[in-house]
């Protein structure tokens, strides 16, 4: 008996995925803000502007319809995971979400990070990874054949948050050079602070760091700023910086980073930005926060037009849309 030859399901010779743009990001890992300079920051920000316009006018498009994202979160997340999933969906792509309970994956059986990455890359074109260990994304990138985007590695870095933060500052105030930026809260463990500080050091800015003594900015980062000639000042009082700040970047005291909870109890309510505090601030300035907040900004401040933190959240969608499209060669 002769088996009839099956008619092919796919005409593979007629279609090949090719990058549309040689943008410097194609197939690149996004692990650290140190990968970015002013030129490629401007590129991503311009693409983010396009994504914003598209989302407002169309809602979705099919730019990444042929691509799949694996979203892998070993730590809790609301904004970062949701915005990456939304970004991929709005660009027409597919998502493998491992974001709500890594304990239900094979990690609960003892599977290593590397084995998880090597497995997931068989199903996707790009991996977004959050992990509790500093350097975990860089480790994953050494083994993976698909691009790794760092969505936070412990107390290390959070590059996509820093990109959306810088984009927010530029969008809200129209420029970055010449600004006075005050960072408040957990500066020791705050990866968003570390990443944004490194990006801001490329510009002509003045930086003010406000924290309890035990949560000061790491000395190596402070020394880097001084070596670059950045004007810096440290204090433990918001009142010392509020009158002249163009940007007040507030962060929560991160309970999960403390090994001694007694130390956390000593500093957990150290700062609160209230309407009374805001009354001392300039008319043209913004308050930012990477969120979540746990009391460091009073809810009454939300009604102040200078409160930019939920606009900041929205900007995260556009920046992550731009990054995904750029890494996959479609922007």
Whether 126 contacts 106, CB under 8 Å = no
Catalogue the active-site residues: 79-80, 109, 130, 158
């Amino acid at each position: 008996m002769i088996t009839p030859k099956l008619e092919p399901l796919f005409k593979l010779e007629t279609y090949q995925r090719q990058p549309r743009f040689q943008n410097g990001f194609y197939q690149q890992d996004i692990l650290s803000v140190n990968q970015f300079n002013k030129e490629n920051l401007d590129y991503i920000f311009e693409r983010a502007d396009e994504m914003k316009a598209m989302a407002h006018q169309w809602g979705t498009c099919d730019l990444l319809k042929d691509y799949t994202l694996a979203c892998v979160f070993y730590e809790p997340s609301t904004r970062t995971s949701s915005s990456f999933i939304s970004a991929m969906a709005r660009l027409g792509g597919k998502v493998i979400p491992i974001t709500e309970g890594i304990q239900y994956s094979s990690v609960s059986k003892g599977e290593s990070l590397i084995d998880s990455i090597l497995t997931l890359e068989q199903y996707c074109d790009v991996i977004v990874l959050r992990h509790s260990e500093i350097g975990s994304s860089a480790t994953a990138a050494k083994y993976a054949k698909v691009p790794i985007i760092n969505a936070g590695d412990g107390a290390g870095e959070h590059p996509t948050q820093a990109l959306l933060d810088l984009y927010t500052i530029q969008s809200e105030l129209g420029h970055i050079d010449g600004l006075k930026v005050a960072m408040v809260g957990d500066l020791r463990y705050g990866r968003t602070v570390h990443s944004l500080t490194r990006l801001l050091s490329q510009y002509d800015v003045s930086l003010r760091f406000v924290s309890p003594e035990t949560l000061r900015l790491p000395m190596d980062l402070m020394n880097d700023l001084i070596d670059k000639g950045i004007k810096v000042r440290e204090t433990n009082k918001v009142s010392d910086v509020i009158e002249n700040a163009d940007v007040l970047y507030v962060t929560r005291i991160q309970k999960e980073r403390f090994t001694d909870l007694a130390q956390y109890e000593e500093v957990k309510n150290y700062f609160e930005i209230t309407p009374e505090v805001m009354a001392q601030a300039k008319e043209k300035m913004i308050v930012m926060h990477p969120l979540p907040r746990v009391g460091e900004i009073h809810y009454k401040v939300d009604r102040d037009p200078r409160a930019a933190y939920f606009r900041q959240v929205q900007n995260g969608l556009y920046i992550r849309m731009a990054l995904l499209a750029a890494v996959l060669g479609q922007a």
